[in-house]
């Protein structure tokens, strides 16, 4: 009897083990293909400090991240050390991964290899298709090669990466419709994070890991196709490797750029004015599943007509499935458009990001009048608002600086990136008094200062601070 009880106990344990095993999801296999940076060259403990190792730790037990990096390898088949000839490449294929990260291209910029760069696109497409043919049908992400600070032009040389390789990676991503991750922007202007000019230290690989985690961890809605839902005559082109639809809406030129895979909830960025200028934050948000949209109402300076057109455009895009609240983005005078619309649409804004913003049209373009000269923009501004004289225009109170009460009612966070030495749009006449008013009304405003910078360039080479602000506003 005791022996029978033991048999039943053993059978029960085995059955529970089988049930538990069946309930456990199969680990998501992530294959990291690359050269020395992927392998962790230069790090004290690459087994823990390389970005694949850190990514595996952050993603957790549901994921199995395997590092297939091989130092000095090229994407080019005719390179001096082709990745396709390595055992690690064969092992990655044999593993039938669910996700593939490809980080190849830096070594292709060497003098010995760059003579074959005209074959780079074809070789990259062949690599992608080899993984696409697997039964696992993996999700494929192309990591754009990082910056190089090496001065030897025969070695890994940044001008070749920037001008010769990055555009080709974007072309491949567009043609094959695979995802892109702009690692290049992350380390620009940060030579201290690349001690030998090529390989990131631990702080650098941690930044890379953070970006990859955000891209992979964001929930995606693979079935959502905003561009397909827009029933307009439209042309499709590449915006840094992403599908961009150009079309007319209510007589205005419009654009919609779609991510490769939309984030759940369909978040979006509404860009005002100066389309494509310093696009690094837009690109980073596309990586994370955001759409980026544009509707040209220049040059109406955010007047009632501009607001009405945007109201209709918003309704059109929201009906097509974009989320109820948009991230509003405006550079320079684009801030007038953003804030004037947001002031009358408080429930449709999740956050505002403006950059060296015009907040008082009497400051710009009004400064020309105060200097004793006119300008085309000043005359256009007067016409847009029905102002018949310069003296009347200089008393204008329809700029965002005078709408802070309406803006604060929306309870959305505001980010200003501010060049402290801007003489075109002086901070003392725009952001600084605006910030003071917003804070007095208990509003949520963050000002990121750029000491010594003039009006240009906008944004940051690495847009991480802007992206972090927007992600926090959308997801927290």
DSSP assigned state of 20: H
Looking at residue 25, its pLDDT comes to: 67
- The mean pLDDT value of the chain amounts to 94
Within a 10 A sphere around the Cβ of 4, how many other Cβ atoms?
8
d(CA 278, CA 282): 9
Tell me: pLDDT of 297 over 50: yes
Strand order in the sheet with 235-239: 235-239, 242-249, 252-257, 291-295, 268-272, 326-331, 349-355, 414-419, 445-450
User: How does residue 334 score in pLDDT terms, banded at 50, 70 and 90?
Assistant: very high
Q: What is the pLDDT, as a whole number, of residue 264?
A: 98
Q: What is the pLDDT of residues 102-148, one digit of tens each?
A: 999 999 999 999 999 999 999 999 999 999 999 999 999 999 999 99
Q: What is the DSSP string of 3-18?
A: HHHHHHHHHHHHHHHH
- CA–centroid distance for 347 within its chain: 24
pLDDT for position 10: 34
Please give the pLDDT value at position 16. Answer: 39
Percent of the chain with pLDDT over 70: 95
DSSP assigned state of 253 = E
Q: How far is CA 472 from CA 172, 351, 401, 437, in A?
A: 31, 10, 25, 24
Q: How does residue 55 score in pLDDT terms, banded at 50, 70 and 90?
A: very high
Q: What is the pLDDT of residues 375-393, one digit of tens each?
A: 899 999 999 999 999 999 9
What domains appear along the chain, each with residue ranges and CATH number? Answer: 27-217 (3.40.50.1110), 226-361+398-475 (3.40.50.1820)
Identify the pLDDT of residue 64. Answer: 98
Residue 372 pLDDT > 80, yes or no? no
pLDDT over threshold 70, residue 11:
no
- Residues 301 and 84: their CA atoms lie apart, in Å, by 55
Compute how many other C-beta atoms are within 10 angstroms of the C-beta atom of residue 12.
10
* Higher pLDDT pick, 3 / 450: 450
The whole-number pLDDT of residue 373 equals 73
Q: Residue 62, exposed/middle/buried by CB under 10 A (0-12, 13-18, 19+)?
A: exposed
- At 78-91, the pLDDT tens digits run 999 999 999 999 99
User: Where do we find the tokens 């369909």?
Assistant: 266
pTM: 0.91
Residue 18 has a pLDDT of 35
Task: Report the distance separating Cα 15 and Cα 204, nearest Å.
Answer: 47
Q: Give the pair of three-digit tokens for residue 85.
A: 């000839």
Write the CB contacts of 161 (distance below 8 Å, at least 6 apart in sequence): 105, 106, 109, 145, 147, 148, 184
- Tell me the pLDDT tens digit for each residue of 207-232: 999 999 999 999 999 999 999 999 99
């Amino acid at each position: 009897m005791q022996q029978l009880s033991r048999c039943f106990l053993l059978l029960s344990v085995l059955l529970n083990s089988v049930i538990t095993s069946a309930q456990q999801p199969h680990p998501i296999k992530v294959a990291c293909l690359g050269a020395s940076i992927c392998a962790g060259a230069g790090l004290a403990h690459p087994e823990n400090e390389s970005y694949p190792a850190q990514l595996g730790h952050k993603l957790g037990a549901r994921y199995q991240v395997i590092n297939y990096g091989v130092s000095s390898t090229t994407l080019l088949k005719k390179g001096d050390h082709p990745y396709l000839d390595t055992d690690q490449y064969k092992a990655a294929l044999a593993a039938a991964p669910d996700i593939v990260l490809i980080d190849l291209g830096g070594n292709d910029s060497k003098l010995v290899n760059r003579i074959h760069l005209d074959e780079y696109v074809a070789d990259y497409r062949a690599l992608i298709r080899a993984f696409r043919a697997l039964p696992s049908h993996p999700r494929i992400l192309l990591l754009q090669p990082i910056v190089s600070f090496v001065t030897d032009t025969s070695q890994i040389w940044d001008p070749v990466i920037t001008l010769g390789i990055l555009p080709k990676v974007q072309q491949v991503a567009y043609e094959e419709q695979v995802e892109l991750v702009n690692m290049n922007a992350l380390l620009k202007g940060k030579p201290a994070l690349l001690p030998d000019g090529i390989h990131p230290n631990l702080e650098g690989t941690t930044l890379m890991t953070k970006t990859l985690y955000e891209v992979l961890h964001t929930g995606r809605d693979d079935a959502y196709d905003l561009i397909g839902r827009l029933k307009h005559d439209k042309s499709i082109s590449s915006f840094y490797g992403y599908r961009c639809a150009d079309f007319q809406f209510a007589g205005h030129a419009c654009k919609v750029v779609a991510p490769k895979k939309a984030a759940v909830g369909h978040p979006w960025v509404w860009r005002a004015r100066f389309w494509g200028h310093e696009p690094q934050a837009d690109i980073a948000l596309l990586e994370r599943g955001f759409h980026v949209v544009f509707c040209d109402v220049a040059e109406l300076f955010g007047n009632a007509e501009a607001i009405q057109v945007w109201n209709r455009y918003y309704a059109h895009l929201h009906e097509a499935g974009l989320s109820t609240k948009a991230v509003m983005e405006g550079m320079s005078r684009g801030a007038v458009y953003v804030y004037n619309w947001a002031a009358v649409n408080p429930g449709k804004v999740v956050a505002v990001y403006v950059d060296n913003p015009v907040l008082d049209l009497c400051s710009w373009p009004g400064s020309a009048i105060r200097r004793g000269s006119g300008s085309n923009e000043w005359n256009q501004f007067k016409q847009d608002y029905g102002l018949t004289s310069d003296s009347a225009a200089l008393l204008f109170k329809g700029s965002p600086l005078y709408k802070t009460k309406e803006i604060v009612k929306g309870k959305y966070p505001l980010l200003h990136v501010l060049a402290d030495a801007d003489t075109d749009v002086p901070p003392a006449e725009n952001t600084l008094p605006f910030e003071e008013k917003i804070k007095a009304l208990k509003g949520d405003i963050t000002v990121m200062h750029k000491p010594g910078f003039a009006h240009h360039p906008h944004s940051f080479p690495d847009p991480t601070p802007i992206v972090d602000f927007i992600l926090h506003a959308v997801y927290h």
